[in-house]
Amino acid sequence: MPLRIVFAGTPSAAVPSLRALAASDHEVVAVVTREDAPLGRKRVLTPTPVAVAAEEAGIPVLKANRIAPLEGRIEALRPDLGVIVAYGGLIREPLLSTPRLGWINLHFSLLPRWRGAAPVQRALIAGDRETGAAVFQLVAELDAGPVFGVVTQPIGRNETAGHLLEVLAENGAGLLVGVVDALDAGSARAIEQEGEVTLAPKLELEDGRLDWARPAAELDARIRGTTPEPGAFALLPDGDRLKVLDAAIAHADAGLAAGEFDLRSGRLLVGTGTDPLHLVTVHPAGKRAMPAADWWRGRQRSIEAR
Tell me the pLDDT tens digit for each residue of 66-112: 999 999 999 999 999 999 999 988 899 999 999 999 999 999 999 99
Confidence band for 303, pLDDT divided at 50, 70 and 90: low
Q: Report the pLDDT averaged over residues 297-301.
A: 82
Q: Report the pLDDT averaged over residues 225-246.
A: 94
The rounded Cα 228 to chain-centroid distance in angstroms is 9
Q: Report the pLDDT averaged over residues 250-273.
A: 91
Which is nearest to 134 in space by CA: 297, 268, 123? 123
**What share of the chain in percent tops pLDDT 90?**
88
Reply yes or no on whether the pLDDT at 306 is more than 50: no
**pLDDT tens across 170-226, in order?**
999 999 999 999 999 999 999 999 999 999 999 999 999 999 999 999 999 999 999
Confidence band for 305, pLDDT divided at 50, 70 and 90: very low
- Greater model confidence, 100 or 239: 100
- Greater model confidence, 240 or 85: 85
Confidence band for 301, pLDDT divided at 50, 70 and 90: low
Cα(281)–Cα(276) distance, rounded to whole angstroms?
15
Burial 275-284 (b: 16+ CB within 10 A, else e): bbbbbebbbb
Which is nearest to 210 in space by CA: 283, 155, 266, 259? 259
Cα(200)–Cα(34) distance, rounded to whole angstroms?
21
Residue type, 274: T
Would the pTM count as exceeding 0.75? yes
Average pLDDT for the chain: 94
Q: Report the pLDDT averaged over residues 274-293.
A: 95
**pLDDT tens across 133-170, in order?**
999 999 999 999 999 999 999 999 999 999 999 999 99
For the chain, strand residue ranges (E) read 4-9, 27-33, 37-39, 44-46, 61-63, 81-85, 103-107, 130-137, 147-154, 232-235, 241-249, 261-264, 267-270, 277-284, 290-291
**Domains plus CATH for the chain?**
4-185 (3.40.50.170), 205-305 (3.10.25.10)
